[in-house]
Amino acid sequence: MFFHSKELQYNARVSKPDPRFARLLLEQFGGGNGELKAAMQYFVQAFSCKNAYPDKYDLLMDIATEEFSHLEIVGATIQMLLSGVNGELKNAAESLEMMDPMEGKGAKENYIHQALYNSQFCVLTGGGPSVTDSNGTPWTGAYVNANGDLTVDLRSNIAAESRAKIVYEYLIKFTDDEYVKDTLRFLMTREITHFQQFEAALDTIQPNFPPGILQGDPRYSNLYFNMSPEESATGPWNQGCSSRLGEEWQNIDELKEYVEATNGLTDMEPTGTERTQDTVKNMDRELARARSKEVKSATPTENIQWSAYKDEEEKVEQEVPADCL
Ligand code: MN
Ligand code: MN
């Protein structure tokens, strides 16, 4: 269950309203790399690992809850940046000054004009945040990556934190408001923190590469296909040993000829690796058995209950107020 604290996690402030930046900041409210996406992604991922990995369930729920707190900070900042819009709209009986071309370019007129950079602020949300990105595209659950396997999900999260971080970095360039910059720096920094927390959590699961269970086919795991007629650039991605499996890279320069000579890559033996079809098959079987047991042994199939509560005798007796008797 959730509690709501009336104070924000960070003391978000703005020097003065700025509807144009409010629109840009929507990117981190309802955008594809924003706080709602992060919160929902970790929240949804947590359910599937509750039984077998209760420590990671805790981590995911804690960070999800912090991301909701970030969403709150971003929403509050957008609202502060739009201060005045709603009040002006409530002045329903009067026409907006900005509509009168004879009124000149007063400060308020100019300000409301800026709010029109996002028409939704004016004619839909009435001067508050909307669950959209900065272009008004509605938030979607399709932003959420949750695949029921922590070696996959935690990597999705490391990628998500990287993207959230760079969007804050870009946003900082578009405001001169020192208060807003402070808030953005705080939010950006927390994504750096989360990156490391997810990476550390991934390290606690061994083996964690390749993602998932199956080890792949040793005939193909160390092939580098040069896909152009010219020579390919070289680097650790095609020279020496591969980073995780420690296999020697095999460069295939004449791909068409190679594919034809191997009957479409089917008549060939693994090279540059000690792994064979048999060792891989054994590892698949062992890891599948271990992981499946890990989850099954921790997952009841009858009388299923999510939470443990205090014992009956420990329960506090409810006092019924005398007036109600
Ligand atoms: Mn965040
Ligand atoms: Mn984060």
Which ligand is the nearest neighbour of the Cα of 68?
A: 1
Task: Estimate to the nearest angstrom the gap between the alpha carbon of 87 and the chain centroid.
Answer: 35
**By percentage, how much of the chain surpasses pLDDT 90?**
78
CA of 37 to the centre of ligand 1 (A): 9
Closest CA to 77 of 128, 3, 36, 126: 128
pLDDT for 94 equals: 76
CA of 11 to the centre of ligand 1 (A): 15
CA of 217 to the centre of ligand 1 (A): 38
Residue matched to tokens 């729920």: 61
Beta bridge partners of 250: 223
Tens-place pLDDT, residues 176-207? 999 999 999 999 999 999 999 999 999 999 99
In angstroms, the Cα distances linking 243 to 85, 202, 280 are 55, 16, 18
Instruction: Find the length of the chain.
Output: 325
Which ligand is the nearest neighbour of the Cα of 70?
A: 1
Average pLDDT for 112-139: 83
Which ligand is the nearest neighbour of the Cα of 193?
A: 2
**33/174 Cα distance (integer angstroms):** 18
Confidence of residue 65 (pLDDT cuts 50, 70, 90): very high
Confidence of residue 87 (pLDDT cuts 50, 70, 90): confident
Residue matched to tokens 């999800």: 64
CA of 31 to the centre of ligand 2 (A): 14
CA of 292 to the centre of ligand 2 (A): 30
Average pLDDT for 65-70: 98
Closest CA to 67 of 38, 32, 33, 27: 38
CA of 53 to the centre of ligand 2 (A): 20
CA of 71 to the centre of ligand 1 (A): 7
| DSSP-derived secondary structure for 150-185 | HHHHHHHHHHHHHHHHHHHHHHHTT---HHHHHHHH
**How many C-beta atoms lie closer than 10 Å to residue 217's C-beta?**
12
Tens-place pLDDT, residues 14-34? 999 998 999 999 999 999 999
Omega cis (within 30) before 229: no
pLDDT for 314 equals: 65
Eight-class DSSP state of 140: -
pLDDT for 34 equals: 98
Average pLDDT for 213-233: 94
CA of 67 to the centre of ligand 2 (A): 6
Cβ–Cβ under 8 Å, residues 13 and 79? no
- Kindly report which listed range (2-6, 113-117, 164-168, 218-222) carries the lowest average pLDDT score: 113-117
Which ligand is the nearest neighbour of the Cα of 158?
A: 2
CA of 80 to the centre of ligand 1 (A): 19
CA of 145 to the centre of ligand 2 (A): 14
In angstroms, the Cα distances linking 137 to 118, 126, 230 are 12, 17, 42
CA of 311 to the centre of ligand 2 (A): 36
Which ligand is the nearest neighbour of the Cα of 35?
A: 1
Tens-place pLDDT, residues 276-305? 999 999 999 999 999 999 999 999 999 999
CA of 85 to the centre of ligand 2 (A): 30
**Residues sharing a CB contact under 8 Å with residue 277, sequence separation 6 or more, in sequence order:** 217, 218, 270
CA of 35 to the centre of ligand 1 (A): 5
Residue 41 CB burial class (10 angstroms; 0-12, 13-18, ≥19)? buried
Burial 120-133 (b: 16+ CB within 10 A, else e): bbbeebebebbbbb
- Kindly report which listed range (104-108, 171-175, 310-314) carries the lowest average pLDDT score: 104-108
Average pLDDT for 249-254: 95
Average pLDDT for 220-240: 94
Q: Does residue 144 surpass a pLDDT of 50?
A: yes
Which ligand is the nearest neighbour of the Cα of 161?
A: 2
pLDDT for 97 equals: 56
Confidence of residue 120 (pLDDT cuts 50, 70, 90): confident
pLDDT for 57 equals: 98
Q: Does residue 102 surpass a pLDDT of 50?
A: no
CA of 5 to the centre of ligand 2 (A): 20
**How many C-beta atoms lie closer than 10 Å to residue 201's C-beta?**
21
**Ramachandran region, residue 303 (left: φ > 0; alpha: ψ -120 to 50; beta: rest):** left
CA of 22 to the centre of ligand 2 (A): 21
CA of 196 to the centre of ligand 1 (A): 13
- In Å, the largest CA–CA distance within the chain is 91
Closest CA to 182 of 14, 6, 8, 9: 14
pTM comes to 0.88
